[in-house]
Structure 1
């Protein structure tokens, strides 16, 4: 959409892809127009450059250094800005009304910004994959006494360790492209800028398997592997289940059964664990395996929780 730059109050309400305007006015420079528009989002103090290049900036709703915002001024009368994490995009002009030329300039600028973003993203993924391979090669075997493993009562199952962080290797098309770090307090983070969609880890071996499970977290996968002795693919989170399941089905022979092992997020609105597992199963024609809890259990939500609960109660 095209938004005319405005004076105070510059912004009334926010909706995805739209701006509600109050007073409109003409600006003497595109820098002033864009500065006012960005201020409505809490972005101030930028040295705006109308040089035709794509510029990045931090958004106010994310941590410092996020660089989720962008703008480009294709001319001295038009600017386009947006936010990568929301997909929002807007255009401002110095005039009181838009014209076809300004609209065309805005479209081209937005396309250029998107292309540059994709180029930067792909290069960052390459850099992160190289970092992941270096870290993995230099890391030693995980300490079986690591606090996360002892808390979960699980064996390392091939994990490695860098300082205090366990390293879970994540693969895409058979190549190591990222690492998930599991810290002693249970926090989990992939390497910055690495590929995350469609990547997966593995507990056990796929070779010779007749059945493969797909689970969210590494601990759940490890608990299932210890209980059932079948390989378990680690999708990392519910949103990644379908992408991982689809790629797995494409690469495995048809006679190998794939089952989605769902987290039962029964205490979360919408139960994303079950919902996303069922969607992934539907996408590849698979079944869903659900954890079974004790009648009065108010704590467990996944297979790792159930395994730990049973060990604690000597079952």
Structure 2
């Protein structure tokens, strides 16, 4: 196959996977990029060999995704080509893992430096006031962003930044999967696991029980497994988001899957009778809307 055609087909496979349109360099090395077109070494990556049978691999550390590509299907390959392709994939996986570990370590070092320079967050932070929760050991940076540390139980892995207006982002390159933030670890009782910081903070303040922030629905399962491993006899309750406005309701689906995997219970907010104009989804929404429900009931008596 001609080189330009192999590059085009490889690029098309990356586009079809929803990982953007990087400028392909077929030198057999891992290249990092951003799927949204930003410059720099992002969480997406690819590796393309053009010597011999054109073949490569690509993926996203952000999405935990890896795929392979070859100019021929396995049925079309001869014995030598199959062996070479398998060896290329094994080498690509090893290089991918090594690069990801290096990236995670660099991000963890940056996270520690930022965290050490940050100051304790006040309960009067605009985001906390809006959500009706306290700071619970979080910090703020010099730009006024709330900082939520994420840990794997042994070390700081990454940081989540929440702007005063509620905008959220993670430190680039950090490891999120299997990382969490705990609130009220000194409390007794069942351990609650929720997606967002405000949700977990609300549940802790209302129940008095220890709560764990998983940060997103996809991380509920890795975090639930980690919490179960550290607390084999504890009662775990996964407090999911009711993503009724999102196709497939990922909050409910992921919460149930995580609970089933670790033998936990599931607790979902019920918005029946609530004003749904704000499209509520989580337990923070539920608790903040609850006074309005009571006031509405009293007004109709």
Do both share a fold (TM > 0.5)?
Answer: yes
User: Contact 1:71 / 1:79 at 8 angstroms: preserved in 2?
Assistant: no
Indicate the residue corresponding to 2:115 in structure 1. Answer: 136
Unpaired stretches in structure 1, ≥5 consecutive residues = 6-26
Does 2:15 align with 1:35?
Answer: no
Q: Where do residues 114-153 of structure 1 align in structure 2 (5 Å cutoff)?
A: 114-153=93-132
Change (3 A) 1:149 1:90: same
Instruction: State the distance in 2 between where 1:310 and 1:272 align.
Output: 24
Tell me the TM-score normalized by structure 2: 0.82
Q: 1:73 to 1:270 in 2, by over 3 A?
A: closer
Considering only CA atoms, is the larger Rg found in Structure 1 or Structure 2?
A: 1
**Secondary structure, counterpart of 2:109 in structure 1:** helix
Conservation of the 8 A alpha-carbon contact between 1:152 and 1:304: yes
Q: Tell me what 1:222 maps to.
A: 201
Residue 309 (structure 1) shift: 1.9
Cα displacement string for residues 14-37 of structure 1 (whole angstroms, at most 9, x for unaligned residues): xxxxxxxxxxxxx3xxx3343342
**Which residue number in structure 2 is paired with residue 12 of structure 1?**
none
Q: Pick the aligned partner of 1:84 from 59, 72, 80.
A: 59
Whole-angstrom CA distance in 2 between matches of 1:309 and 1:203: 23
Give the SS at the match of 1:78. Answer: coil
Structure-1 separation of matches of 2:86 and 2:80: 10
Structure 1 match to 2:137? 158
Match of residue 238, structure 1, among 213, 217, 220: 217
From the two aligned structures, give the one with the greater helix fraction. 2
Q: Following superposition of structure 1 onto structure 2, how do residues 189-228 of structure 1 map, counting pairs within 5 Å?
A: 189-205=169-185, 207=186, 209-228=188-207
Matches within 5 A, 1:1-315: 5=1, 27=2, 31-38=3-10, 40=12, 43=21, 46=24, 48-49=26-27, 53-56=28-31, 58=33, 62-65=36-39, 66=42, 68-73=44-49, 75=51, 77-85=52-60, 86-92=65-71, 98-162=77-141, 163-205=143-185, 207=186, 209-252=188-231, 254=233, 256-298=234-276, 299-310=279-290
CA distance in 2, matches of 1:251, 1:198: 13
CA–CA separation in structure 1 for the residues paired with 2:294 and 2:249: 29
* In structure 2, C-alpha distance between the alignment counterparts of 1:40 and 1:233, rounded to whole Å: 40
Deviations 1:80-130 (A, max 9, x none): 12321353321237xxx7543233222222221221111000111111112
How many angstroms does 1:133 deviate by? 1.5
Deviation at residue 45 of structure 1 after TM alignment: 5.7
Give the Cα separation in 1 of the matches to 2:155 and 2:98.
20
Q: Deviations over 1:18-62 (max 9, x none)?
A: xxxxxxxxx3xxx3343342454575864544xxx4242647x53
**Cα distance in structure 2, aligned partners of 1:244 and 1:267:** 25
Q: Are residues 45 and 172 of structure 1, via their aligned partners in 2, closer, same or farther at CA, if it must alter by over 3 Å? A: closer
**Alpha-carbon distance in 1 for matches of 2:195, 2:57:** 32
Q: SS where residue 144 of structure 1 aligns? A: coil
Return the TM-score normalized by structure 1. 0.78
